[in-house]
Amino acid sequence: MDASTVRLRPPRHRVARRAVGWWTARSLLGAAPVLAGLGAAYALLGAARPWLGPALVAVAALAAGHAAVVPSWRYAVHRWETTTTAVYASSGWFVREWQVAPLSRIQTVDRVRGPLQQLFGLATVTVTTASAHGAVRLVGLDADVAARTAEQLTALVRRTAGDAT
């Protein structure tokens, strides 16, 4: 099968289950500065600005709701797969995005492990192509799976005919 016969289809693999914890931690850490700022403002100015109390409660409720729902939803919709001809990824919330990158179009394969990803034993594989749409990101993979995937893709791309443009 050559690149012209690669078809867009649902990818087969889920991300690592630990990605739910990673996304939850990122969500809570992202909300923490806002909650801290509102909490400090309420402590200092609460009597002068009575709306700060309800604002703090509302932001805390939204942050808790986001952390409780969104990571599991992301886990349910994120999928990925690599084959000998292409890289497949799907993601999205209400609008589902499916991406396919034929190996002949791949320019670079990178593996990233931020501090929080390292804590959860996860990594992201970024496959950069000549597409104007941008890279295909395989987010929330087990660190060992990500390392093997990056190595396999790199080896496959070396053997694939094409100019990656």
pLDDT in tens, 113-140: 999 999 999 999 999 988 777 899 999 9
Q: Are 84 and 156 in contact (CB under 8 A)?
A: yes
pLDDT in tens, 26-68: 999 999 999 999 999 999 998 899 999 999 999 999 999 999 9
List the domain boundaries for the chain.
20-74, 80-159
Q: Collect all residues with Cβ–Cβ distance below 8 Å to 48 and sequence separation of at least 6.
A: none
Answering whether pTM is above 0.75, one says yes
Residue 2 has pLDDT above 60, yes or no: no
Hey, what amino acid is at 63? A
Average pLDDT along the chain: 90
Q: For position 10, what pLDDT does the model report?
A: 80
Q: For position 109, what pLDDT does the model report?
A: 95
Within the chain, residue ranges assigned H as helices are 19-45, 52-77, 115-120, 143-159
Q: Are 91 and 85 in contact (CB under 8 A)?
A: no
- Mean pLDDT for 90-115 is 90
Rounded Cα distance, 76 and 14, in Å? 8
Rounded Cα distance, 164 and 108, in Å? 10
**The 106-112 sheet, strands edge to edge:** 106-112, 122-129, 136-142
Rounded Cα distance, 149 and 11, in Å? 14
**113 is written with which tokens?**
């492990």
Q: For position 59, what pLDDT does the model report?
A: 96
